[in-house]
Structures are given as structure tokens and as C-alpha cells.
Amino acid sequence: MFGFKNDDAATVVQFIAEQVRRDISFGVLPPDSRLKIEDLRQRYGGSAHSFREALTLLANEGIVEANTQRGFRVASASQADLEDVTRLRAEIEGLGLKWSMKHGAVRWEGELIAARHAVDRADRMVMGDIDALALEWDEANREFHAVLVSRCNSPRLIEFQSRLFFESRRFRFAVLKERGIVGEELTALRGRLVDAVLARDEQQATEALERLILGPFGGP
């Protein structure tokens, strides 16, 4: 039935999980809304079991809430959640960056510069057609922040960073749609961050990173 899985999802479960993850990020499935297996099957296809498994997965990722014997629902997205995710992201990515700066060499710097270029470009484009480009824009952001921690030498930190990034995606999209997240300040901040990394200025780098992460939410 799923012979047309053009995504890189190898199994049906992963495919379903990716679909649902995406729709939760975009707010198509709003926070706290119930996820009835039957309804979802009509929408996405797939068997009940595959869905249970996919939802258990997403529950473990934190964007879905599983209540025993009472089914699943989209995890709530309170102000406290936003603050928690953002604060932790700043700490974790800061730590990962610090470690990466110890191990990363020329090759890493190249990747970083490339990722920065891409995300700067995505920033300039996205405001033109938010709905169409939001995912692409966020993917560029994901890549940039992934590169930051990619040389930290700690697979578990990398995984946790990735998870927090996905968890924060909902909030990011919400802000993007509502008042446009992207501005000159972020681009400049990113520039400062990359410069500091290249100069191996740990202090400056972590500070810029923290402001880059907190900026869109705490900022003006």
C-alpha cells in the first residue's frame, strides 16, 4: 500500500511518524487535540498497529502525550513548555558547541560556513511565501544548528539537541506565521556567532548562540 514512500522513511511506522510530526509542527494538529487512531487511519492510511507504534514513538519524542488506556493527544504547548525547551536548547547547544570547537577542524568550519550561507538565504526567501517555504526554511535552520554540535563527539548530546529542535519547531512556526521571526538582527547574530567560532572565541560564541536561540521568543 505504501509503495510510494518517496520520503527516506524505510518503514511504514517511520513514514507515519514523520507525517504526524510534520502536521503537529505546522499546527494542523493543534496542541491538546485528541489523536483517535481510527480518525488518523482515515487521514493517513496504515494499520492500527502501525499507528500505535508511531504514536508511542512520538510520545517518547515529547510532541505527543500518551495516557494509558485513554489514547493519545498532541502534547500541550504552554508558555512554560516554550521556556523550558528554549532554555534547555540554549544550554545543550552551547555545551555541544563548546566541545565541537575543541575537536572541529577546517572541514567543520567549511560546513559551518556553508550552512550559514544556506540559512541566511532561506531567511531572505521565507517571508515571501511563508506557507510554502516554512519547512524548507526550518530545514536550513536545523542543518545549521546540527553542524554547530556535530563535532562534539557525543552522540547522545547530538540526539538530544535534535529532539529539542523538533520540539521547538511548533513554537517557531507559530511565531513565524504570526509576526515573522526573521530579521536583520538574527542574521547579524548568526554572523557574529560564526566569526567567533572561527576565531575560537568560546565566550563570544556561546553568548551569540544563546541570544540567537532565545531571540525570536524572548526578543522584541
Partner DNA sequence: AATACCAAAATCTTCAATATTTTCTGGTTT
Partner DNA sequence: AAACCAGAAAATATTGAAGATTTTGGTATT
Residues forming contacts to a copy of itself in the complex (CB under 8 A) are 10-11, 13-14, 49, 52-53, 56-57, 60-62, 68-69, 84-85, 87-88, 91, 95, 153-157, 160, 164, 167
Which residue in the set 23, 27, 37, 109 belongs to the binding site for DNA (CB under 7 A)? 37
- Report which of 77, 66, 82, 68 is spatially closest to residue 34, judged by C-alpha positions: 66
**What distance in Å separates the CA atoms of residue 75 and residue 32, rounded to the nearest whole number?**
6
- Give the contacts of 25 (CB within 8 A, at least 6 positions apart): 63, 138, 166, 169, 170, 173
For residue 91, the partner it binds in a copy of itself, DNA, none, with Cβ less than 5 to 8 A by kind, is a copy of itself
- Give the contacts of 4 (CB within 8 A, at least 6 positions apart): none
Q: Does 12 bind DNA (CB under 7 A)?
A: yes
For residue 36, the partner it binds in DNA, a copy of itself, none, with Cβ less than 5 to 8 A by kind, is DNA
Q: Helix crossing, 79-103 with 155-179: angle to 10°?
A: 130
For residue 160, the partner it binds in a copy of itself, DNA, none, with Cβ less than 5 to 8 A by kind, is a copy of itself
Q: Which residues bind DNA (CB under 7 A)?
A: 1-3, 11-13, 34, 36-38, 45-50, 52, 66, 68-72
